[in-house]
Structure formats: structure tokens, C-alpha cells
Structure 1
């Protein structure tokens, strides 16, 4: 079952560009793997694949295909995905309105994310 997830226009634009410039062709999609971990509760990786892998479900964002494995579907329910581009970092961000504040004290004053927000840097891109 597909999650109730919102993909904001900036994140959609980023995903579309990744797919378009991947060279995988018309059936390609953006594969997003999200698991539990990290201060914000999310650890994520993304790739562009020519087709969904076994067990993936396809989330249609317009004509963009987002391939989601089972664990990702569970983690993304109720989450808003956006894209942030600042002078110091660029990447997808995940906002979960139901997540609590981080209590691990690993945040460094100026770069701390609001509660329930995870950032996935462009450096996490893997090429298969």
C-alpha cells in the first residue's frame, strides 16, 4: 500500500532532473530508500533505476515514478518531502509532523534541523 506522502514542487523538480539525466530511458524512476536512523529518525539513500526492483511499489507524482521499497513506504506515511538548496548544503528534506524533538545533543547550534526534519545530502546519491 502506498503511503500518504506529499512531494513538494522543489523535490519533484530535483527528482525529475535526476531521472532525466540518468540515461535510463522512459521506464526509469527515482528509487527512495528510507529507514529508521539518525537524529531526526530518518536515514535515506536514493538512486535512479531503469525499473522498479522486486518488492517496490510505484508512487506516481504526475508522470514521475518514485520507486518505494516496503520499509520506505512505512517510514514515509504522513511525511512531506522537499528540496533545500543553501550555500552550505543541498538535498532532500523530510518533514514528519508527528516526530518529536531530538534529545541526543548531536546538533551543532546553527545547522540543527527543526523537530521531525531530516536532510539527505546530494552526496548520498549512488550510481548503479
Structure 2
């Protein structure tokens, strides 16, 4: 199912595409949410072989972002970006549902 409530930025799509090309995997980034981290929930990223039947799928520049239904409740409306800075390079989630976050940007609270 396609839905515009989750967005992969062009810079994140380019990074996923580059990683997929190096590893020989499909250009599919899975975003999931797990309990833990500094603020209660933390984001998990990984390459997926294929979307699962119940996943929400969003596509940018030929790269798919997939999220399971349970995680989607916590990340609906998000933008996944790839940011490079002096501190390093990382995928970053801009989450309008988060009421609090941590300095590292990898965990949040709702």
C-alpha cells in the first residue's frame, strides 16, 4: 500500500541507493521503532529484501522506504533524511509525533 504519510528525502534515497549498490541488495530501507533509547523509543534502520504484505511503502527516486503497521503508529507523517555533519553522517527522522527527543536524535517520546 502506498501512502504519502511517510517520506524519504532525496538525500536519504541517494544514500540508500549507494549502500544497496555496494552490498548487492535491493534499494529498500526498513524503518522500525523499538522500545528503549534515551527517551523511550528508538529508531532502527536496515536494508530489506522486499516489503512485507502489511508494510506501508513510500518511494523516492526509485528507493523504497518500508514501515510495519505497529511502527507506523509512531512515525506517521515523518520525513527520513540523511544528514552529514562534522559529527558524522546518519539517517535522521523528523517526527511530528515526538513530544521529546534526545541529543543523539535516535530516540524519542510520544
- The separation in 1 between residues aligned to 2:15 and 2:41, in whole angstroms, is 19
Larger Rg: 1 or 2? 1
Would you say the 8 A contact 2:6–2:58 is kept in 1? no
> Are 1:71 and 2:70 counterparts?
yes
Match in the other structure for 2:29 = 30
TM-score of the two chains, using structure 1 as the length reference: 0.62
- The separation in 1 between residues aligned to 2:51 and 2:100, in whole angstroms, is 34
Structure 1 moving runs of 4+ over 4 Å: none
> Are 1:6 and 2:7 counterparts?
yes
Would you say the 8 A contact 1:16–1:64 is kept in 2? yes
- The separation in 2 between residues aligned to 1:17 and 1:35, in whole angstroms, is 26
> Are 1:60 and 2:59 counterparts?
yes
Would you say the 8 A contact 2:76–2:97 is kept in 1? no
Q: How does 1:14-53 map to 2 (within 5 A)?
A: 14-24=15-25, 28-40=27-39, 42-53=41-52
Coordinate RMSD, CA, aligned:
2.8
**Higher share in strand:** 2
In the TM superposition, residue 19 of structure 1 has moved relative to its aligned partner by 2.1
TM-score of the two chains, using structure 2 as the length reference: 0.70
In the TM superposition, residue 40 of structure 1 has moved relative to its aligned partner by 5.0
Q: How does 1:82-97 map to 2 (within 5 A)?
A: 82-97=81-96
Match in the other structure for 1:119 = 106
